[in-house]
């Protein structure tokens, strides 16, 4: 939802009438949620439609959301050209039908790679269902948006006539940031994300022990509340409970406040898996860049694609090299300031608004009649 909201508001920010269809969720004010939970203040051209999901016994389904969006797009297309984006494979059948209308263009934003399941070790029924959806419906839509260049290469081979483009997800550059010297003095690494092995949490616990010997703290921000007591117990057993902190997932606005006030360095130490190498865009790295925080990352294509020249890269199994790199950043003010400046520069290059503009250019390049593109998304 966080990605969907930022995707949608980025189009409204560059002047497009934008409509976001989502499940209703708990009763609340959408505008207040955007401001207080996501830290956003979208313009008046941004419209949110919260549709109650269809319920059957203890489960909920998105059919009602898809049907509402389908009817809304058809209605909007009677007066204007409409461009539709979805991340939901369940909406692909509706999207293919909408794309029959010459006034409607439809694009699927990929966040996995189910059209080719050779990389999936333990295949489940849902994997085959997703593969079927993509092979049946992707050839019938206007194009796909990929989040890594490797992902785009995969889909170009599978669907050579399907227009595609690759952009990482976006940053939200912070205008008022602490001076690099102030952030450096905090001597605190901050990891944001899920607390499971593929995200490198075990590795970071190992390095936290070594970093504590140099008066460097580690904050883990993410995971579910049930994981925190177990992680606290592990920290106590390692003798570092006073040098680490575990915080379960909190609203994005709270997480950004913590990055702004507590973090010196960001961490993106993904494990070396096919998915982590080629199919994911590590959102945590975008958050670090947004705050101008230097980052240490695994030397993987997906991480380099986001951090680029603003990252410091370390093997994801070399704890000593990781600690050495962190100390170099925190003990050398000149080097830290340089890397913080590069993080700010990179954040502006791949902001959500820059991404939205690039996507609009891609849409225009893949449609024959582009003179009406100032209309709805």
**Per the structure block, which two tokens stand in for 222?**
């993410």
Do 124 and 162 touch, CB atoms closer than 8 A?
no
* pLDDT for res 298: 95
What lies within 8 Å, CB to CB, of 219 at 6+ separation is 188, 189, 190, 191, 244, 245, 247, 258, 262, 263
| Structural domains of the chain in order of their starting residue, each with its CATH number | 2-170+352-365 (3.40.50.2000), 180-349 (3.40.50.2000)
* pLDDT for res 59: 64
Of the CA atoms within 13 Å of residue 60, those in its CB half-sphere come to 9
Q: Could you report the per-residue pLDDT of 89-131, keeping only the tens digit for each? A: 999 999 999 999 999 999 999 999 999 999 999 999 999 999 9
Task: Kindly indicate the confidence band of residue 198, based on its pLDDT and cuts at 50, 70 and 90.
Answer: low
- The DSSP H or E segment spanning 228 is helix 227-237
* pLDDT for res 312: 97
* pLDDT for res 175: 86
* 177 pLDDT more than 90: no
32-41, 142-151, 345-354: which range is least confident on average? Answer: 32-41
* pLDDT for res 376: 63
86-95, 153-162, 361-370: which range is least confident on average? Answer: 361-370
* pLDDT for res 91: 96
**What is residue 377's three-state secondary structure?**
coil
* pLDDT for res 370: 43
Most confident of 51-55, 195-199, 235-239, 305-309: 305-309
CA dihedral sign, ordered 261, 1, 191, 343: negative
Task: For residues 218 and 141, give the distance between their C-alpha atoms in angstroms, rounded to a whole number.
Answer: 46
Do 277 and 150 touch, CB atoms closer than 8 A?
yes
Identify the residue with better confidence: 199 or 245.
245
Burial pattern 23-40, b for ≥16 Cβ within 10 A else e, equals eeeeeeebeebbeebbbb
* pLDDT for res 368: 60
* 216 pLDDT more than 60: yes
Nearest to 113 by CA among 141, 148, 162, 83: 148
Task: Indicate whether this model's pTM tops 0.85.
Answer: yes
Rounded (10°) angle between helices 227-237 and 201-212:
40
Task: For residues 145 and 109, give the distance between their C-alpha atoms in angstroms, rounded to a whole number.
Answer: 5
Task: Kindly indicate the confidence band of residue 8, based on its pLDDT and cuts at 50, 70 and 90.
Answer: very high
% residues pLDDT > 70 (the chain): 96
Identify the residue with better confidence: 364 or 373.
364
Q: Could you report the per-residue pLDDT of 279-293, keeping only the tens digit for each? A: 999 999 999 999 999
Q: Could you report the per-residue pLDDT of 240-299, keeping only the tens digit for each? A: 999 999 999 888 899 999 999 999 999 999 999 999 999 999 999 999 999 999 999 999
* pLDDT for res 367: 82
Nearest to 3 by CA among 167, 117, 127: 167
% residues pLDDT > 90 (the chain): 77
Task: Kindly indicate the confidence band of residue 202, based on its pLDDT and cuts at 50, 70 and 90.
Answer: confident
Q: Could you report the per-residue pLDDT of 54-77, keeping only the tens digit for each? A: 877 666 679 999 999 999 999 999
* 371 pLDDT more than 70: no
Q: Could you report the per-residue pLDDT of 317-326, keeping only the tens digit for each? A: 899 999 999 9
């Amino acid at each position: 939802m966080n990605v969907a909201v930022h995707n949608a508001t980025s189009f409204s920010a560059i002047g497009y009438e934008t409509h976001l269809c989502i499940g209703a969720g708990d009763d609340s004010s959408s505008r207040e949620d955007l401001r207080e939970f996501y830290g956003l203040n979208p313009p008046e051209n941004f419209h949110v439609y919260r549709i109650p999901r269809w319920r059957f016994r203890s489960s909920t389904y998105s059919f009602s959301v898809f049907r509402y969006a389908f009817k809304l797009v058809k209605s909007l297309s009677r007066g204007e050209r409409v461009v539709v984006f979805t991340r939901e494979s369940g909406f692909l059948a509706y999207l293919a039908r909408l794309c029959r209308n010459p006034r409607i263009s439809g694009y699927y934003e990929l966040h996995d790679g189910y059209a080719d399941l050779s990389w999936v070790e333990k295949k489940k029924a849902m994997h085959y269902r997703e593969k079927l959806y993509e092979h049946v419906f992707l050839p019938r839509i206007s194009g796909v948006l990929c989040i890594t260049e490797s992902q785009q290469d995969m889909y170009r081979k599978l669907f050579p006539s399907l227009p595609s483009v690759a952009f990482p997800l976006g940053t939200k550059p912070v205008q008022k940031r602490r001076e690099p010297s102030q952030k450096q003095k905090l001597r605190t690494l901050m990891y944001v994300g899920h607390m499971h092995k593929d995200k490198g949490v075990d590795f970071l616990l190992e390095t936290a022990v070594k970093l504590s010997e140099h008066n460097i703290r580690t904050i883990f921000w993410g995971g579910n509340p049930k994981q925190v007591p177990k992680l606290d117990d592990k920290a106590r057993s390692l003798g570092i409970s006073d040098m680490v902190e575990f915080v379960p997932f909190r609203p994005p606005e709270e997480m950004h406040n913590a990055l702004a006030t507590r973090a010196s360095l960001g961490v993106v130490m993904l494990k070396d898996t096919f998915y982590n190498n080629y199919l994911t865009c590590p959102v945590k790295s975008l958050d670090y860049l947004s705050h101008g925080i230097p980052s240490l990352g695994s030397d993987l294509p997906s991480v380099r694609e986001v951090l680029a020249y603003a990252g410091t890269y370390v093997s994801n199994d070399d704890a000593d090299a990781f600690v050495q790199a962190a100390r170099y950043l925190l003990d050398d003010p000149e080097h830290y300031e340089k890397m913080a400046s590069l993080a700010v520069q990179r954040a502006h290059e791949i902001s959500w608004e820059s991404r939205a503009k690039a996507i609009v250019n891609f849409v225009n390049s893949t449609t024959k009649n582009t003179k009406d593109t100032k209309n709805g998304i």
